[in-house]
Amino acid sequence: MPRHRFTQADVAAMAGVSQSTVSFVLNGNAPIGVRISEETRNRVLEAIRITGYSANPVAQRLAGGRNQILGVFTYEKTFPRGGRDFYGGFLNGIERAAEQLGVDMLLFTSARVVDGRRRLTRDGWQRLGLADGCLLLGQREDQSELQHLLDTNYPFVFIGKRVSEGGRLPYVGADYVEATARQVGRLRALGHTRIGYVGPQGADQASIDRIDGYTRAMRADRLPLRFVDMHDAQAGADEIVERRLTAILVAPEQSPDEIVDALGQRGVRMPDDVSFLLLGQSHHLRQRDVSWSGFTVPREEMGARALVLLSRIVDEDSRAASDSRSRLDDADLHQMLPCPDVDGTSLAPAPISERTHP
Contact 248, 228 (CB under 8 A): yes
Q: Is 45 in the site for DNA (CB under 7 A)?
A: no
User: Is residue 51 a contact residue for DNA (CB under 7 A)?
Assistant: no
Q: Is the distance from CB of 333 to CB of 170 less than 8 angstroms?
A: yes
| C-alpha angle 153-156-162 in degrees, rounded to nearest 5 | 105
Q: Which residues, at least 6 apart from 37, have a Cβ–Cβ distance to it below 8 Å?
A: none
271 C-beta neighbours (distance < 10 Å), count = 20
Length of the chain: 358
Backbone angles phi, psi at 308, to 5 degrees: -60, -45
Binding part of the chain for a second copy, among 29-37, 88-96, 198-206, 224-232 by CB under 8 A, reads 88-96
Q: Which of 39, 242, 289, 330 binds DNA (CB under 7 A)?
A: 39
Using the contact rule CB under 7 A, the part of the chain among 63-71, 135-143, 180-188, 207-215 near DNA is 63-71
Q: Which does 82 bind (CB under 5 to 8 A by kind): DNA, a second copy, none?
A: none
Shortest reach from residue 61's CB to DNA, in Å: 8
| DSSP letters for 69-97 | EEEEEESS-SS-BTTB-SSHHHHHHHHHH
Q: Candidates 20-28, 35-43, 100-108, 226-234 — which segment interacts with a second copy by CB under 8 A?
A: 100-108
CA 65 to chain centre: 27
CA-to-CA distance for 77 and 80, rounded, in angstroms? 8
CA 318 to chain centre: 24
Site string for a second copy, 136-175 (x = CB under 8 A): ---------------xxxx---------------------
16 makes contact with DNA (CB under 7 A): yes
Neighbour tally for 43: CB within 10 Å = 17
Q: Are 133 and 313 in contact (CB under 8 A)?
A: yes
Task: For the segment 297-326, give every residue that binds DNA (CB under 7 A).
Answer: 318
Transcribe 187-203 into DSSP letters: HHHTT---EEEES---S
CA dihedral (108, 112, 113, 114) in degrees, to 10, reads -140
80 binds, among DNA, a second copy, none (CB under 5 to 8 A by kind): a second copy
State the nearest-atom distance from the C-beta of 314 to DNA, in Å. 13
Position 88 contacts a second copy (CB under 8 A): yes
99 contributes a contact to a second copy by CB under 8 A = yes
Pick one of 65, 124, 200, 351: the residue that binds DNA (CB under 7 A): 65
Binding DNA (rule: CB under 7 A), the pick from 55, 208, 241, 268 is 55
Q: How many residues bind a second copy (CB under 8 A)?
A: 48
Residue pair 25/41 in contact (Cβ under 8 Å)? The answer is yes
Which of 12, 24, 25, 78 forms a contact with a second copy (CB under 8 A)?
78
Q: Which of 1, 3, 37, 102 binds DNA (CB under 7 A)?
A: 37
5 makes contact with DNA (CB under 7 A): yes
- Binding of a second copy at residue 92 (CB under 8 A)? yes
CA end-to-end distance (rounded Å), the chain? 81
Residue 170, classed as helix, strand or coil, is coil
**Rounded Cα gap, residues 260 and 343, in angstroms:** 18
Interface with a second copy, residue 127, by CB under 8 A: yes
Contact positions vs a second copy (CB under 8 A): 1-3, 5, 52, 54-59, 61-62, 67-69, 77-81, 88, 91-92, 95, 98-99, 102-110, 113, 122-123, 126-127, 129-130, 151-154, 289
Contact positions vs DNA (CB under 7 A): 4-5, 7-9, 16-21, 23-24, 26-27, 29, 31, 33-37, 39-41, 53, 55-56, 59-60, 62-65, 318
